[in-house]
Amino acid sequence: MKLHYSRNPNPRLAVAVARHLGSAVDFVFASPFAPGQAETYRPLNPSLSIPILEEEGRRSLWEADAIACRLSRFSGSDFWRRDEDEPDMIRWLSWGKANFVQACDMVHFEYGTKQRYGIGPVEPAVVAEGLGAFRRAADILEAEFSARPFLLDSGLSYADFRMACFLPYNDVAGLPLADYPALSAWNDRLEALPAWSDPFAGLDAPSLPRVPLAAERQGEAGQEPLG
């Protein structure tokens, strides 16, 4: 199997899952939108997005959640639950992507993605909307993590990785995690896992383009310092 990846959030998520599970995959750094690469990757994923999992004798699989499910089943792990906990796990995947993850993405896109790739200036109104959505979702998660260490009563699952997929980039997003002690403690538990804290260890994974310092970005956006 080959896992095509980059250092961006969803590919990072897939690499972290593969590393956590000890999956027997070859990691292939990919840049489908680079000049001359589109025709190589279009047969694997018509949208050209990564991660992509290539497996001999099967159609290529794309989207991080699908890849996590496949790798978990291939390894015989319950990281992607297959018992009575599966509906609860899927509940958190669905809610997380529409709420907490989306909120993190909104802020990260303004302070991270747009600035890395010169897409445009930070839009303060979008940052404010994202921060408001983050706080609403974080209030719910704070209550959940005050009652148990992970999203599921049975312990760590893929839902935790998915929910946290933008938090490794919080050095540029500046989301106010410190305002939520139980949420922060959950993030610390994930960071204690080598596969999560440094999924690219030993891999050919060029660094993402540099982002201006947080203080510079916030000043340009007319925002008060975050965090």
Query: What is 115-156 written as a DSSP string?
Result: HHTT-----HHHHHHHHHHHHHHHHHHHHHHHH-SSSBTTB-
Q: Would you say residue 10 has pLDDT above 60?
A: yes
Between 198 and 219, the higher pLDDT residue:
198
Asked if 173 and 107 count as a contact pair (C-beta separation under 8 A), the reply is yes
Residues 95 and 35 occupy one common structural domain: no
Q: Which of 75, 104, 129 is the last residue of a domain?
A: 75
Range of the domain at 16: 2-75
Residue 63: give its domain's CATH number: 3.40.30.10
pLDDT computed for residue 213 by the predictor: 59
Q: Reading across the β-sheet that carries 52-54, which strands appear in turn? A: 26-29, 2-5, 52-54, 61-62
How many domains does the chain divide into?
Answer: 2
Residues 117 and 196 occupy one common structural domain: yes
Of 57, 68, 59, residue with least CA distance to 11:
68
Residues 7 and 100 occupy one common structural domain: no
Mean pLDDT across the chain, nearest whole number? 92
Q: Which of 75, 96, 129 is the last residue of a domain?
A: 75
Alpha carbons 225 and 227: distance in angstroms, whole number: 7
Mean predicted confidence (pLDDT) in 162-177: 97
Asked if 41 and 196 count as a contact pair (C-beta separation under 8 A), the reply is no
pLDDT computed for residue 33 by the predictor: 86
pLDDT computed for residue 215 by the predictor: 41
Q: Which of 75, 110, 138 is the last residue of a domain?
A: 75
Segment (H or E) for 33:
none
Q: Would you say residue 221 has pLDDT above 90?
A: no
